[in-house]
Structures are given as structure tokens and as C-alpha cells.
């Protein structure tokens, strides 16, 4: 069973992590939109665009969007963890019901599962 101090510590950790990831996601979204706008607005120089440059730009935009999607998933998991704190179920595995280890929560504070159940669910 987790103490009130422990719960408050995880709440603060999760809130700070959420803030950082949300800020990163916002910057990535701006970057992805800027990349898309640059292509849509056309090339202002008189140098023709090389196909390899277009491929690189496309790859970078897809990569950025992939990272953004990952960040959005983490934000959902963090919100769910904060909700579990409010419900009093934080720190227990959603699969087997056992208490999550301190090490597991320190490594992944928004985790839903103990290591064993996470492996079995993959």
C-alpha cells in the first residue's frame, strides 16, 4: 500500500512529465506544420528542388509525426495514471492486482502493469 506522501510524489512527477511532454508535442506539431507549409508555399529560390531533398523532407515530417503520435499516447497514459491516483487504484497492476514495485514506478510512473503482466500482454 502506498503512503499519501508517495502518492503526492507520483502526482507531482506525473504532472511535471505531462507538462514537459505536452510542450514537446506542441513544438513537434509546430515543426511538422512548418515543414508542410514550406512545401505548399513553393520554393522561393530559383534553384530547382531535387527529388532527394523532397524525400528527405517527407521522411523528416513522417518521423516527426510518429514521435508526436508517441507523445500523444504517453499523455493519454499519464492522464489515466493521474485518474488512477484520484480513484485510489494507482500503484496496482491492472491485470493481476499486485502492488507495482517502486523501481517499476520510478522507471515508468504511468505504467498500468507489473513487469510480468506487461511481458505476458505483449
DSSP 79-116: HHHHHHHHHT-TTB-TTT-PBPPHHHHHH-TT--S-HH
Give a yes or no: residue 110 inside a domain.
no
Q: What is the pLDDT of residue 46?
A: 52
Give pLDDT tens digits for 44-70. Answer: 555 556 666 666 667 787 888 888 899
In whole angstroms, what is the distance from residue 71 CA to residue 74 CA?
5
Give a yes or no: residue 27 inside a domain.
yes
Range of the domain at 66: 4-40+51-89
CB-based contact 121:113 (threshold 8 Å): yes
Q: What is the pLDDT of residue 73?
A: 95
Average pLDDT in the 91-109 region? 95
Average pLDDT in the 80-94 region? 96
Q: What is the pLDDT of residue 55?
A: 66
Give a yes or no: residue 61 inside a domain.
yes
Q: What is the pLDDT of residue 39?
A: 46
Give a yes or no: residue 113 inside a domain.
no
Average pLDDT in the 15-40 region? 79
CA 17 from chain center: how many Å?
A: 9
C-alpha cell at 98: 499486485
Total domains present in the chain = 1
Question: Does the pLDDT at position 4 exceed 80?
Answer: yes
Amino acid at each position: 500500500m502506498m503512503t499519501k506522501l508517495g502518492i503526492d510524489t507520483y502526482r507531482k512527477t506525473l504532472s511535471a512529465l505531462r507538462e514537459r511532454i505536452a510542450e514537446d508535442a506542441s513544438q513537434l506539431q509546430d515543426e511538422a506544420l512548418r515543414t508542410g507549409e514550406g512545401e505548399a508555399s513553393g520554393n522561393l529560390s530559383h534553384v530547382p528542388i531535387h527529388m532527394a531533398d523532397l524525400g528527405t523532407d517527407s521522411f523528416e515530417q513522417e518521423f516527426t509525426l510518429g514521435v508526436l503520435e508517441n507523445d500523444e499516447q504517453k499523455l493519454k497514459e499519464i492522464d489515466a495514471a493521474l485518474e488512477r491516483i484520484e480513484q485510489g487504484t494507482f500503484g496496482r497492476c491492472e491485470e493481476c492486482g499486485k502492488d507495482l514495485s517502486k523501481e517499476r514506478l520510478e522507471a515508468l510512473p504511468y505504467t498500468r502493469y507489473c513487469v510480468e503482466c506487461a511481458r505476458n500482454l505483449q
